[in-house]
Structure 1
Amino acid sequence: MITKTSLVGGSALGVMLALGLGVSAQAQDTTTSWKGAPQFANDTLTFKVRGRVYEDVIYQDVDRTGTGVDFKAWNTRLRTARLGVEGTWNGNWAYKAEAAISSGGGSTQWEDLTLEYKANETTSIIVGNFKTVSLEDITSSRYNTMMERGAFNDFINAGRVMNLQVKTNGPNWTAAVALSGDSLNSADVSTNLATGSKETFGYNGRATFAPIITDTTTVHLGVWGRYRDRGDQANFTYQVRNNTNYGARYTSSGAVGVHDKTIGLEAAVLHKQFSLQTEYARITSDRTGTASDVDLDAFYVTGSFFLTGETRRYEAARGEFNRTRILSPMTAGGMGAWEVALRYDSVDLTDLKGVATAGKYTAWTAGLNWYPHPYVRFMANYTKASNDNPLTTGVNTQLNDVDVDTFQMRAQFDF
């Protein structure tokens, strides 16, 4: 993967050579603390094993118009199992390496694989495979409200890729810019192509600001942008699942994008037990040849309420959510935390004409979460989704429409 090796790997080497990696070996007593799992510390060196396991049960009812076959399905599956390590040394350096096994054949891939140099308390340089944009995408799935990030996250396709990022922050704001390659898990681009052998390349930036932070109320605002060039790889596809990682996608643009530009807006309000979170994104996709550019849009709104008095934990200096503090965990004789949630999703691909599945996706999702203690969560989601796709042939104006009802439950723990 040429871009990845030259851009990110070379940049990491350059950073280390320029800044120096001074690790002094001193004989110190090793101490142990508990952060979901034992963390070992020796002077400025720390080391901790990390991981998570999500086990799901899913029932799905698919209703298709026209010649499509209706069906019902259910499945028990391993959503993900991850194992990795993280740590720091010399006060200025931090690292993280985590691999995952997923359902559907048990494929293994890298998740976060990062090396960070902290120039000072507020500025750092990060290189590796990680996420850079979108409030819900950056926030760990361990702390997001619903079982899945939803159609919005599928649409923007802003998962982990190789990045060289510079990030700075204050008490209530963050700012970051990054150069990006492709995912570390992607296959190398073939070297015998007539057009060349370039992988996906791009750049992005994100800024957040929390104008209100009090004991009872917090407001988060954010904006981000991204540019991508597919290089010599396949065209970009804009598509959505039905608010679940299981099953087929019924709303999709097909492979149409050569370059694209995305602008995203974020907002969240926390007031005591209540949380409201929303994001909007517009992707302007440049297509091949004489095909006109298209503007594609998506947004979601999620509201949640803790019946047991907790509040979502927001970190303004990082611009993301963190682990909820449970007021009365079962490990202390309590009942844990209970949370109810409701989400609305919308993805609009209708500016792309002539594609049978480039329609509009909308969905409502209701959720119930129980946290026996901070590192264990049981979840239940019900989603009613509509894929309203355009007419292509015949007289049936709903020829490609697909309605999907999904009920899913999850048991998860992390350490």
Structure 2
Amino acid sequence: MTTRTSLIGGAAAGVLLVLAAGQAQAQDTTVQWRGAPQWANDSLTFKVRGRVYQDYIYQDVDRAVGADFTASNTRLRTARLGVEGTWNTNWSYKAEASIASAGGSTQWEDLILEYRPNDFTSLSVGNFKTVSLENITSSRYIVFMERGPFNDVLDIGRVMNVQAKLNGQNWTAAVAVSGDSVNNADVATNAGTGSKEVFGFNGRVTYAPILTDTQALHLGVWARQRNREDQANFTYQTRNNTNYGARYVSTGAIGVKDQMLGVEGAWVYRNFSVQGEWAKVNVERLADAEADLSAWYVQASWFPTGETRRYEANKGEFNRTRILNPVTSGGMGALELGVRYDNVDLTDVRGVATAGEYQAVTLGANWYPHPYVRFMANYSVSENDNPAVAQDVDVKTLQFRAQFDF
């Protein structure tokens, strides 16, 4: 699927003009503030949305083989602009594009059309995420600057999906048929080698057996199966708890098919929370070879200022934290402290020197002046162990972020 910057810009401008024109002609239009103005006329709504993350990163890299070095950079991690809205109580949409984030090219992020025949059923089509608590929760609301190696090694980001989902007050159940990302190039048509893109199935179920005003317990399980078809082999690799710098643990492009099983859990009690996930990956390689990979993390968060992570059981994800005393009302904002341990084990892959094990500890501190602005600091100590070739790499990463969204 080929994405062109000019098409994205033109499509976005066209959507904005058409919707704005429609709103200009509407009667009894009201405006309310939801981080940015939202226009509404009966059940028709329209809102511009976006986010900006500006980072500074410093790394100290200690290598068993080769020279040690330090690196630092100020960078635009994310800049996005999009729209969202509803046509009536049943139909809604979201379209968001990243604007050359982290030095890359402009591309689509969430691109979703959703139909809800009632409050408990939805059908969605588009480019979006489907599995893992940390993955589905927006980066605006996670505890740390990056989701970490768990999401990196599993490659469970946005792809094109057709998804059916049911939910109650404290549970969700979803299944989806998946393809490739909308941003990836079309598979070249070639009668000799084939031209099929990645194809897969996935599903996720969540349940909150405890859900009160002061605490919530989240349990979940998900599974995914995919086939590379005529595209490149799957690669399983991880960075050092940051989007910056090199990867030192990687299998290379080895996967023809894979099956994943993940479990997730979280407990929120007043201003304290813990969260963790574990996943097992069975990778099918060429010549009938197989390998089993694993990844897991556990983290804790505490608000000394009394806030609580806002868990939504009918969605199976976390949402925006409510700030008790924002600076815009004369308060000091909210302070959050966090700690996380990550582990990825790729050592079952034979014949690849860098298919090792990764582990890291990350400390984090976040200050929220008000709900739509956050300043973040993370410090990670990472170990990349490749026992087959003694190419161990230890990385210390200090990074800061200024974040706002609307």
* TM-score, structure 2 normalization: 0.93
SS of 1:289 mapped into structure 2: helix
1:338 aligns with 2:335: yes
Among 90, 94, 97, the residue aligned to 2:95: 97
Preserved CA contact (<8 Å) 2:76 2:103:
no
Instruction: Please say if residues 78 and 102 of structure 2, whose CA atoms lie closer than 8 Å, have aligned partners that are also in contact.
Output: no
User: Shift of residue 179 of structure 1?
Assistant: 0.3
Write out aligned runs for 1:154-233 (5 A): 154-192=152-190, 194-233=192-231
How many pairs align? 387
Equivalence map 1:33-112=2 (5 Å): 33-66=32-65, 68-112=66-110
User: Secondary structure, in 3 states, of the residue corresponding to 1:136?
Assistant: helix
Counterpart for residue 293 of structure 1:
290
1:409 aligns with 2:406: no
The residue correspondences of 1:211-360 to structure 2 (distance < 5 A) are 211-290=209-288, 292-360=289-357
Question: Are the counterparts in 2 of residues 253 and 355 from structure 1 also a CA contact under 8 Å?
Answer: yes
Distance 2:88 2:294 in 1: 45
Q: Secondary structure at the match of 1:353?
A: coil
Cα distance between partner residues in 2 of 1:403 and 1:248: 12
Distance 1:200 1:271 in 2: 41
Query: How far off its partner does 1:190 sit?
Result: 1.3
What is the CA-CA distance between 1:373 and the residue it aligns to? 0.2
The question of whether the paired residues in 1 share the 8 Å contact of 2:367 and 2:374 is answered with yes
Residue 373 (structure 1) aligns with = 370
Q: Residue 96 of structure 1 contacts residue 113 of structure 1 at CA under 8 Å; is this kept in 2? A: yes
CA distance in 2, matches of 1:106, 1:344: 29
* 212-221 or 45-54, which deviates more: 212-221
Structure 1 unaligned regions, length at least 5: 3-22, 393-398
Q: Which amino acid aligns with 1:229?
A: N
Matched letter for residue 347 of structure 2: T
- Whether 1:400 and 2:391 are equivalent positions in the alignment is yes
Contact 2:79 / 2:101 at 8 angstroms: preserved in 1? no
| Structure 2 counterpart SS, 1:152 | helix
- 2 CA distance for matches of 1:96 and 1:314? 22
**d(CA) in 2 for partners of 1:376, 1:65:** 41
Q: Secondary structure at the match of 2:287?
A: coil
Kept in 2: contact 1:311–1:324 (CA 8 A): yes
Give, in angstroms, the shift of residue 106 of structure 1: 4.2
Secondary structure of the 1:58 match is: strand
The letter for the 1-side match of 2:40 is A
Aligned partners of 2:91 and 2:382: how far apart in 1?
Answer: 45
**Preserved CA contact (<8 Å) 2:172 2:316:** yes
Alignment check: 8 A CA contact 1:79 1:102 kept: no
Deviation string 1:194-223 (CA, Å, 9 cap, x unpaired) is 320000000100000000011211100000
Measure how far apart 1:193 and its partner are. 6.2
Q: Is the 8 A contact 1:376 1:412 kept in 2?
A: yes
C-alpha deviation, 1:103, in angstroms:
3.9
> Which 5+ residue runs of structure 2 have no aligned equivalent?
3-21
Alignment partner of 2:197: what SS?
coil
One-letter code aligned to 1:33: Q
Contact residue 28 and residue 43 of structure 1 kept, 8 A:
no
Counterpart position of 2:135: 137
Q: Distance in 1 between matches of 2:162 and 2:213?
A: 36
Name the SS for the 2:229 alignment partner: coil
- Tell me the TM-score normalised to structure 1 length: 0.91
Aligned counterpart, 2:147 = 149
Residue of structure 1 aligned with 2:384, choices 364, 373, 387: 387
State how far apart, in whole Å, the 2-side matches of 1:45 and 1:316 are. 26
Which secondary structure does the structure 2 equivalent of 1:335 belong to? coil
- 1:73-92 Cα deviation digits (max 9, x unpaired): 00000001000000001211
Match of 1:13 in 2: none
Which whole-Å CA distance do the structure 2 matches of 1:247 and 1:69 have between them?
A: 16
CA drift at 1:192: 2.5
Structure 1 CA distance, aligned partners of 2:238 and 2:130? 20
1:363 aligned onto 2:354: no
Partners of 1:391 and 1:256 lie apart in 2 by 17
Structure 1 residue identity aligned to 2:268? L
Does the 8 A contact of 1:224 with 1:263 survive in 2?
Answer: yes
The residue number in structure 2 matching 1:17 is none
- CA-based RMSD of the aligned residues comes to 1.6
Q: How far is the alpha carbon of 1:262 from its aligned partner? A: 0.2
Q: CA deviation at 1:275?
A: 0.6
